Each structure stands twice: as structure tokens, then as C-alpha cells.
Amino acid sequence: MAAKITIRPNGPYLVEGDVEVVDVNGNKIDTSGRGPRFALCRCGGSVTKPFCDGTHSKIGFQAAEAAVAQEKK
């Protein structure tokens, strides 16, 4: 299955499908215990980074935009 990333309003990135997550040093982060779908933190407050732990709802995280619209060529 191709990867699908859904941007949740004022919440995490929901990731589904075959995707490899790596840290800043290029080390693979194990996602095998998280099932076929997991959430990546977008607010910066999670204690389980890079995964979401729901902190965004406790701190009132407000995203500027879910995604920036692309220009049509």
C-alpha cells in the first residue's frame, strides 16, 4: 500500500501505509508496534516524539495552515 499522510486540523500527521521514519541522523525509527496507522507529532509537545501522545489538545495547539496551496502552472 502506498503511503498516505493526512494532516489533522490542529493535530498530528496521520500516517498510513508503507513508510520508513528516520531521525535527524538517518537512524530508522521502529514503527512496527504501532500497527498500520500511527500519528506523528506536529505541536512539538509530545513526550513520545516523533509520535503524537495527544498533548496538542492539552496545550491548545493551533496550526497556521493544514497545508500551503500549490501554485498552478
Length of the chain: 73
Report pLDDT digits (tens) over 25-53: 999 999 999 988 999 999 999 999 999 99
Domains of the chain: 4-21+34-59 (3.40.5.90)
| pLDDT at residue 54 tops 90 | yes
Mean pLDDT score of the chain, rounded to an integer? 91
- One-letter amino acid identity for 23? D
String of b and e for 28-44 (b: at least 16 CB within 10 Å)?
Answer: eeebeeeeeebbbbbbe
